[in-house]
Structures are given as structure tokens and as C-alpha cells.
């Protein structure tokens, strides 16, 4: 199975995937980011499909078509979203239905979307965590593959809590990716 990691940020999720011994065929980015440097230092090809090249009136479907073209050109089977900052459209999910994994910093279905950690704190919940799920056209709504909980401490700030969630995520996500790929290999 050929795995692509889609990243936009620091590359910490990418690093966790590689450090877990998972082979990565390419890192696809939508903007300049640290993940590029990390992939290049690991001799992993980087595919850049820059969001800014799709105009002020961003065309999500045209962008998604280009992502699919690039991934299919490299014969990618499975995709791991790793803090990818662009919400992709129908063409992407049609092409890779059931083969796109994502991680989210809450125990879905609670607190979907970009502000999950701050919302957990604002709602006064005592436990949050991270979820690995299959990504679908509807953001953070796909089938849940794995979850791990993180206790919220009295003195937590958004930054402190998010760091603790990331620590759990860096173990849970690669383990889930391995299980998912193994399951796909046994089905084929």
C-alpha cells in the first residue's frame, strides 16, 4: 500500500508516522510549511499543490481534482491527513472513498471543527481526547476508527491541553494507520 501524508504545518504528525516505521510515498502540501523540510530530510518526495494557485475565489472542486491527479499519478492507495489546512471537495472523496484517515483533537462526535480544544474547555467537560476517523465530505463526521481520552486539568490552557492531546495522538494515529493498512492488504 502506498501512503500519502497531506500536511500544512509543523510536520509533527508526519514525524510520528515515519517514526512508527510506516512507509510514506509522498508528502503533499497546500502551502509552504515545515513538513516540507522534514520530508525532504527523510528523502520523501514532496508534492506541492498550493492553494494560492487556485485564485481569490477558491475553487474547491478544481483544487480537489488537482490533488487527485497528483495522488493517482503516484499510485497512492491510502491517505493520512496530518493537519492539512484545506477542506477538500467531492472529487477527492469520490476518488479515495473509505481510504482517507484523519485525526481530530476531540472525542468525536463532540466538538467537530477547527476550535475543538477551546470548545472543550469552554463547555467545562472533564475529559476530551483525540479521534482517528475516516474522512468524508462532511468535516469530522466519518466513521470512527479509534479514540483515546485525555483528562482536562483545572489549570489547563488551550495550549497546554492541545499539547497533551498531541502526545496521545502521536501514538494513536500511527497505530491506527498500521491497522488500517494491514486490514486493506488482507482484503486484497
Which CATH number covers residue 124? 3.40.50.170
pLDDT tops 80 at residue 188: no
User: At 181, is the pLDDT very low, low, confident or very high (cuts 50, 70, 90)?
Assistant: very high
Alpha helices in 89-147 (DSSP H): 90-95, 116-122
Tell me how long the chain is. 188
Distance CA 134, CA 173 (A): 12
Cα-Cα-Cα-Cα dihedral sign, residues 18, 20, 23, 28: negative
Q: What is the pLDDT of residue 187?
A: 85
Catalytic residues: 104
Contact 117, 162 (CB under 8 A): yes
Considering the domain architecture, whether residues 91 and 2 belong to the same structural domain is answered as: yes
pTM of the model: 0.95
Considering the domain architecture, whether residues 117 and 73 belong to the same structural domain is answered as: no
Alpha helices in 42-188 (DSSP H): 60-73, 90-95, 116-122, 158-187
Domain end: 38, 70, 97, which one?
97
Amino acid at each position: 500500500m502506498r501512503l500519502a501524508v497531506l500536511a500544512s504545518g509543523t510536520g509533527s504528525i508526519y514525524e510520528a508516522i515515519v517514526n512508527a516505521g510506516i512507509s510514506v510515498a509522498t508528502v503533499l502540501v497546500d502551502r509552504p510549511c515545515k513538513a516540507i523540510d522534514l520530508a525532504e530530510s527523510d528523502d520523501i518526495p514532496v508534492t506541492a499543490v498550493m492553494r494560492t494557485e487556485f485564485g481569490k475565489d477558491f475553487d474547491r472542486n478544481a483544487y480537489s481534482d488537482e490533488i487527485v491527479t497528483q495522488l493517482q499519478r503516484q499510485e497512492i492507495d491510502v491517505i493520512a491527513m496530518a493537519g492539512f489546512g484545506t477542506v477538500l471537495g467531492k472529487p477527492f472523496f469520490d476518488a479515495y472513498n473509505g481510504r482517507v484517515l484523519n485525526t481530530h483533537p476531540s472525542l468525536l462526535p463532540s466538538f467537530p471543527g477547527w476550535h475543538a480544544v477551546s470548545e472543550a474547555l469552554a463547555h467545562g467537560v472533564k475529559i476530551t481526547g483525540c479521534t482517528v476517523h475516516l474522512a468524508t465530505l462532511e468535516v469530522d463526521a466519518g466513521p470512527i476508527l479509534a479514540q483515546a481520552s485525555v483528562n482536562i486539568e483545572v489549570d489547563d490552557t488551550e495550549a497546554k491541553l492541545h499539547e497533551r492531546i498531541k502526545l496521545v495522538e502521536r501514538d494513536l494515529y500511527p497505530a491506527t494507520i498500521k491497522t488500517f493498512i494491514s486490514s486493506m492488504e488482507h482484503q486484497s
